[in-house]
Amino acid sequence: MTTLILSDLHLGSRNCQAELLSHLLETDFDRLILNGDTINNLNLKKLKPKHWKIINQLREIARKRELVLLRGNHDGDEGEKDAFGPKDVLAMLIGAPLQMEYQMAMTHGHYLILHGDRFDPTLNWPIITDAADWCYRAVQELNKKAAKWLKRHVKKLGGVIEFVKRRSVQYAKNLGCQGVITGHTHFSDDEWIDGTHYLNSGCWVDRPCTYIRADNKDIRLRHWDDRDIQGVKARILRGGFVPACGAVARVI
- Lowest-confidence range among 39-53, 87-101, 238-252? 238-252
Q: What's the pLDDT at 251?
A: 57
Residue 217: per-residue pLDDT: 84
127 in any annotated domain: no
pLDDT, one tens digit per residue, over 175-213 is 999 999 999 999 999 999 999 999 999 999 988 899 999
Domain that holds residue 15: 3-117+180-251
Answer yes or no: is 174 within a domain.
no
Average pLDDT, the chain: 83
Residue 157 has pLDDT above 50, yes or no: no
The total of structural domains in the chain comes to: 1
pLDDT at 248: 44
Query: In the predicted model, is pLDDT for residue 141 greater than 70?
Result: no
Using CA atoms of 95, 101, 105, 109 in order, give the dihedral in degrees to the nearest 10.
170
Residue 91 sits in a domain whose CATH number is: 3.60.21.10
197: CB partners within 8 A, 6+ apart: 111, 178, 179, 180, 191, 219
Q: Rounded to whole angstroms, how far apart are CA atoms 35 and 154?
A: 23
Instruction: For residue 162, tell me if it sits in a domain.
Output: no
Judge whether residue 62 has pLDDT over 90.
Answer: yes
Give the mean pLDDT of 25-44.
95
For residue 165, being part of any structural domain is answered with no
